[in-house]
Amino acid sequence: MVGRSCECLNVSDSCSSLRLVTGIILLLSVLTGLVLADDEPSSVRLIVYSASNASGGYDPVPPDVNLPENMSFSLRSPELGFIALDIASNKTKFITNELLNIPWVTEVEVDAERFSGRIEKDELINNSSPDQWAFSRIGINSEHGKKNLSPCSVAIIDTGTDSNHPNVGMVISGYDWVDQDSKPEDSDGHGTALSSIVSMIADNASSSKYGSSLSIIPERIGVDGTMMSASCSALAIAHASDLGADIILMGYGGSKPSLAEERAIQYATEKGCVLIASAGNEDSNTMHFPSDNFEVISVGSVAKSDGLSYFSNYGIYTELVAPGEEIISACPNLSYCKGSGTSFAAAEVAGITALVHAAYPGLSSDEIRQVLQSSAIDLGRVGRDIYYGYGLVTLPGAIQAAESLTLQKTLKAFSMNNMTPEIRRNGGFQNTTIHSLSLSPGWNFVSIPAPLKSKKTCRDLFSKINTDSHTIWSYEGGNSGWVPHDPDKTLPPLHGILVYSDKVTSVPLVLDTKGTITMNVTKGWNLVGSPVHTIMSARELPFGDRFSWVSILPFNATNQQYDPAIIRGANGRYGDDRNIQPFSAFWTYLNSDGFLVSSSGSKSF
């Protein structure tokens, strides 16, 4: 009967029960549909890639692409070889297969999600509070004496920037990848917060001590911290590098990798950009992108105690840490906020990096990265670890390391003609001498002036040393550079070796000082060892009419950093009257090819 739920004229109890069950099933069906609708978005963005080519770029994407139905163009990047398409979520698998049949298409992937931190406006804060604990901890308020800075631009990829806020430096260029226009204004506040932190370190600090030099390039890839995509991230990275950004800050991330981001990071790296990203706020060591990329400096967060923040991610990609809790920053509409997260820590590292870049423009991106690593305050276990990386970044340490490295680069320009690099030591009377090789916690540059009497291999020699699974390294120079030292070979005399130890210890050595040992050296930097087993001053290094060393760079194993350079003929801090420690290795700059000679354990020449 039409319109009846039960096939009976009289409504019985059983019929009522059937109606009730049917109603419940229908209600559950509706609710289930609503849940699925919430869990599964109606549309999905696919990224379609062209292949890489022999020139280092990517095959062109045709301007008129014959695409399957029910999809629309979203984004296009000829430089990175991809387009982004929006499709119905229930057709992802089918359309992916259709796209892979197109001749120029080499790969298709679903666009990865990216997330950044959150901030909260604080009505009680009415200024930038330059004396906040985080800035004090990393030495932002310290004087460093340099007055002239070169221009430096930092791209902030996030939710945009309030360019009218007094704590945000000069804003130039940029783009809004959400609304597709050139006005990346911030309606969320997170991007403004990061911009202000970078500015308060690199711009305000430079205004008071050095003279302003900073420019901010805002790249807006999300309305807020939960609405970002890897495709927009990739476009923003490439766009910022095309605009000439020296530093690119990425205060966001996600668990899924993106080929688009990887291509963009490589693109920016080749243009000389320093890329910095937050390690993530999930208290996890799971993968996190774009920070988990070897070309990116991944920054974790520490608390006031210098302990890792409760939310900070960690892992093998963590490179540096900085304060990331209760950080005061600017907010849109001339207000101020307080927030916590690894993105704040990354912004502090970006600010210090910008100041180093501006103060020492001759340093490359790789050298700046080296400066940050070598000058960081080691936290946790000795040496790099998965929680703190190389340690806590500070501005005074970074400035000092940059000055030292710049000096070494300047020394390379020195040239002295018609001289042969040769260090000689005359033969002694003893054939066998017992000595002790002292090691400090961390890395040690060591060398021996004569062969081991026992001919022990490095495996045997350092068998009781806990190297924490670190490889023993030797430096070959030229195109070889650092190479792992064969553990089944002995220590070669006069050659510098890099050895790791977890504590203060010593290794007994029995040297055979009979005979003459020669080591070839080349023009430029060489890693060589002291030719004697006693302390000697650098100026005592023997040289003839045809030889001259230009500079020496010793490594301080106790402090785990390089000491100031020793310059031939100099006085004071760089004077050549400073001592060379026995059994130590050091870098020396030579002006031509030659050889190093050792024939004794004595100090007579």
The rounded average pLDDT for each run of 10 residues, N- to C-terminus, in the chain (605 residues) is 32 42 42 47 89 89 75 88 90 88 93 91 72 88 59 96 91 92 93 94 57 86 92 97 97 96 96 97 96 97 96 96 94 91 98 93 92 94 92 94 79 40 37 72 91 85 84 80 86 90 87 77 85 83 59 89 88 87 89 67 36
Quick check: is 224 catalytic?
no
Both tokens of 561, joined, read 């950093």
Under 8 Å between Cβ of 336 and 121: yes
pLDDT at site 249: 98
Alpha-carbon span 605 to 600, nearest angstrom: 9
Under 8 Å between Cβ of 556 and 418: no
Both tokens of 517, joined, read 């040992």
pLDDT at site 35: 44
pLDDT at site 544: 39
Residues of the chain by 3-state class (helix, strand, coil), percent to 5: 25, 30, 50
Both tokens of 289, joined, read 């992108």
pLDDT at site 512: 80
Alpha-carbon span 593 to 232, nearest angstrom: 51
| 350: Cβ contacts below 8 Å, ≥ 6 apart | 154, 194, 198, 247, 249, 276
Residue 507, classed as helix, strand or coil, is: strand
> Which domains are assigned to the chain?
43-111 (3.30.70.80), 115-410 (3.40.50.200), 432-598 (no CATH)
Choose, from 74, 176, 186, 190, the residue flagged as catalytic: 190
pLDDT at site 137: 94
Quick check: is 190 catalytic?
yes
The CA-atom distances, in angstroms, between 45 and each of 92, 110, 113 are 9, 6, 10
Alpha-carbon span 490 to 510, nearest angstrom: 13
Alpha-carbon span 132 to 146, nearest angstrom: 24
First to last CA, the chain: 119
Q: Report angle CA 417, 421, 426 to the nearest 5 degrees.
A: 140
> Nearest-CA neighbor of 352 among 308, 401, 305?
401
Alpha-carbon span 338 to 329, nearest angstrom: 6
Which position has the token pair 């001053």?
537
Kindly report the number of other CB atoms within 10 A of residue 414's CB atom: 13
pLDDT in tens, 478-499: 677 788 888 888 888 989 999 9
| 133: Cβ contacts below 8 Å, ≥ 6 apart | 304, 323, 326
Choose, from 212, 343, 548, 599, the residue flagged as catalytic: 343
Which position has the token pair 């120079």?
477
Q: Which amino acid is at 385?
A: D
Both tokens of 343, joined, read 């993105």
Transcribe 258-274 into DSSP letters: -HHHHHHHHHHHHTT-E
Q: What pairs with residue 301 in β-bridges?
A: 322
Kindly report the number of other CB atoms within 10 A of residue 107's CB atom: 14
Choose, from 111, 158, 292, 512, the residue flagged as catalytic: 158
pLDDT at site 154: 97
Number of H helices, E strands in the chain: 11, 33
pLDDT at site 597: 67
Transcribe 345-400 into DSSP letters: HHHHHHHHHHHHHHH-TTS-HHHHHHHHHHHSBP-SSSS-BTTTBT-B--HHHHHH
Q: Phi, psi (5° rounding) for residue 530?
A: -60, 135
